[in-house]
Structures are given as structure tokens and as C-alpha cells.
């Protein structure tokens, strides 16, 4: 790949569970766009005029994530570093989360077992939104397969000569809006939803995350669109908008975790975890993954 290679140090306040990030991102890695290779997460990226590859590893002894940028980068460097920090939730001091959740009889033991878990973010809000729509009412594995098909069908090669690693850029909103998605593996209504949302973003007819976008405005705009319901919006808000209290309460794993404690009132039960319900959700999902429970969404029918 033509360009420059430079490594940057991203600091954080411990703890941080790097193995959790690798497992979480690895299970959802879009083929051709991102991958987990041993102790490294690597992906392609496009920002401004820059095109290339990002590689993340954890420093063996210090509280640092090492980011290697392989690309010709100019004025985009600081924006790349800011996105990288958001992706791995590096700005938060987890002591505030532990103070709220640590004494809870349901979340406390999970937190004690995995104190360094943070909310996995996303490099691209649009890419995550596509993932979230694709993931409505299907397994993590099925959604990952479909994401790979979308990327290979509509994505732009970063370097046609590259071998053995991610080589496609995830497609732009315009490419998804206008692309051929027949027989991609999704119901036709969900394809329509995806392309309708992508077109609205490409045409800038709805607000979408860019810098200091208003979280409330973005959520309201998405929720007003056909085929987008509360689960999709809350999951997106948690990972892309960094809303710490986002709560995708219709999620099957979350409902199963809370139903025995307050039958029929799982959302009310989660109120004990404000303002960090999103962190509680991630701990519950992690626990479910370790217990091999089904990882499916359980959105209301109007989201299908």
C-alpha cells in the first residue's frame, strides 16, 4: 500500500479488557473490511482524502493502545485519533461506572469478574448503522455474513494489489442507497429500510453523527423512519453516539436477564443502573456470550 506508516499511542485510565474487545470485534468483523489477527484488530478506513489501513494492538506493559496508520495522511490525523479513542471508549474513567454498578446484585459480580469492559464503539457511524439494521432479528453470525456480502458487492478496493488482509472500504451511504442488493440474504422489507435510510443520509435529509451532532436529534430522526424501531436506535446510540445510558430494552438477552427479577417490567428494572445502563447491557451481553446463550435481537414487529 502506497503511503506512510506511523504509530501513535492512545492512553487511557485503567482498567481495559483488550481480550474482550478482540472477541467482540472479531465476532462481528466484516470480511474484507476488518479482521482480528492474533492480538491485533485491523481495518480499512476512509476519511477526507485519506485511504488506508488502521491497526490496533495493546501495549504489553503500559496503559496504551498502539494505533498504526498505514496511509498517506495529512490534516486528517487528529480526526483519525479522535475516532480511534471513541471506538475503544478511552475517554471514560471506569471508576464512575463501577461506583454505580458495582454494588448491584446482578451487575456487580459481572463487573468484578471483568472490570475492564468498556462499550465497543465504531470507526464509522454509518457502517455501524448498516450493521444494526442488518442485525435486526438475526444472529450475530448471520449479520456478519451479510455485512461481508454488502462490502464485497459495493465496497471500493483500497489496494487491489494487497493480499492477506482487509482490502475493501466499507461502501458509502450513496453506494448502499443505489446499489444492487438483491439476494443479499435479507428480507426485501429490510433491504428497503436499509436503502431508504442510506439515501436519507447521503442526501443529508436527516441529521447524522458528524462532530458534535445532537444525540436526541439523530435518534428522533432515525426513529421516524419506516423499519427503524427502539432497539435499533438504542443500540446505535450506545455504540455510535456514545450515549452511556442507552438501553435497547427489547433485546432478548437483556429481557431474559431482567425478567426473573421484575416480571413484565424489564425496562423499569434497568432504571437502577442509570446513568450507565449501556455499560450494564454490555456486561449482560458478555455474560450471555460466555454462557453461549442466543445472541439475537428481539425487536418489535415494526422493526422487521
Tens digit of pLDDT for each residue in 79-96?
999 999 999 999 999 999
Determine whether 236 is exposed, middle or buried from the number of CB atoms within 10 Å of its CB (0-12, 13-18, 19+): buried
Determine whether 140 is exposed, middle or buried from the number of CB atoms within 10 Å of its CB (0-12, 13-18, 19+): middle
Q: Is residue 80 part of a domain?
A: yes
245 counts as catalytic: no
Cell 454509518 maps to which residue?
A: 126
Number of domains in the chain: 1
Single out the residue of 28, 75, 68 nearest to residue 47, CA to CA.
75
pLDDT of res. 266 = 53
Could you tell me the three cell numbers for 226?
A: 419506516
Q: Is residue 42 part of a domain?
A: yes
For residues 167-181, average pLDDT: 97
pLDDT of res. 216 = 84
Handedness of CA 233, 235, 241, 245 (dihedral sign): positive
| Domain of 51, in residue numbers | 4-93
Q: Is residue 266 part of a domain?
A: no
The residues, ordered by sequence, that sit 6+ positions from 284 with a Cβ below 8 Å of its Cβ are 107, 110, 253, 254, 257
Which of 93, 178, 251, 298 is labelled catalytic? 251
pLDDT above 90 for 267 = no
Q: Is residue 78 part of a domain?
A: yes
Q: Is residue 105 part of a domain?
A: no
Please check whether residue 151 is in contact with residue 30, taking contact to mean a CB–CB distance below 8 angstroms.
yes
Q: Is residue 140 part of a domain?
A: no
Cell 438477552 maps to which residue?
A: 253
**0.85 exceeded by pTM:** yes
Looking at residue 58, which CATH number applies to its domain?
3.30.310.20
Q: What is the pLDDT of residues 101-143, one digit of tens each?
A: 999 999 999 999 999 999 999 999 999 999 999 999 899 999 9
Q: Is residue 297 part of a domain?
A: no
Q: Is residue 17 part of a domain?
A: yes
pLDDT band at 269 (very low <50, low <70, confident <90, very high): confident
Amino acid at each position: 500500500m502506497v503511503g506512510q506508516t506511523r504509530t501513535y499511542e492512545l492512553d487511557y485510565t485503567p482498567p481495559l479488557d483488550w481480550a474482550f474487545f478482540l472477541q467482540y470485534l472479531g465476532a462481528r468483523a466484516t470480511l474484507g473490511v476488518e479482521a482480528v489477527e492474533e492480538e491485533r484488530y485491523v481495518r480499512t478506513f476512509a476519511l477526507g482524502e485519506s485511504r488506508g489501513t488502521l491497526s490496533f494492538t495493546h501495549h504489553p506493559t503500559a496503559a496504551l493502545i498502539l494505533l498504526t496508520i498505514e496511509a498517506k495522511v495529512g490534516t486528517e490525523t487528529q480526526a483519525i485519533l479522535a475516532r480511534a479513542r471513541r471506538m475503544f471508549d478511552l475517554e471514560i474513567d471506569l471508576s464512575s461506572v463501577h461506583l454505580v454498578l458495582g454494588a448491584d446484585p446482578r451487575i456487580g459480580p459481572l463487573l468484578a469478574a471483568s472490570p475492564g469492559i468498556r462499550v465497543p464503539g465504531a470507526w464509522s457511524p454509518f457502517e455501524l448503522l448498516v450493521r444494526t439494521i442488518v442485525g435486526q432479528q438475526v444472529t450475530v453470525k448471520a449479520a456478519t455474513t451479510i455485512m461481508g456480502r454488502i462490502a464485497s458487492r459495493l465496497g471500493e478496493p483500497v489496494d487491489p494489489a494487497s493480499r492477506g488482509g482487509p482490502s475493501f472500504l466499507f461502501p458509502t451511504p450513496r453506494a448502499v442507497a443505489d446499489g444492487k442488493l438483491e439476494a443479499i440474504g435479507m428480507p426485501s422489507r429490510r433491504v428497503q429500510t436499509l436503502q431508504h435510510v442510506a439515501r436519507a443520509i447521503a442526501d443529508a435529509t436527516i441529521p447524522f453523527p458528524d462532530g458534535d451532532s445532537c444525540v436526541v436529534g439523530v435518534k428522533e430522526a432515525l426513529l421516524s423512519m419506516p423499519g427503524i424501531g427502539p432497539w435499533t436506535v438504542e443500540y446505535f446510540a450506545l455504540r455510535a453516539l456514545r450515549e452511556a445510558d442507552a438501553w435497547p430494552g427489547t433485546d432478548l438477552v437483556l429481557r431474559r436477564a431482567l425478567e426473573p427479577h421484575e416480571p413484565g417490567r424489564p425496562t423499569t428494572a434497568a432504571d437502577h443502573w442509570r446513568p450507565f445502563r449501556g455499560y450494564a447491557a454490555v456486561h449482560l451481553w458478555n455474560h450471555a456470550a460466555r454462557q453461549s446463550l442466543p445472541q439475537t435481537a428481539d425487536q418489535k414487529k415494526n422493526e422487521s
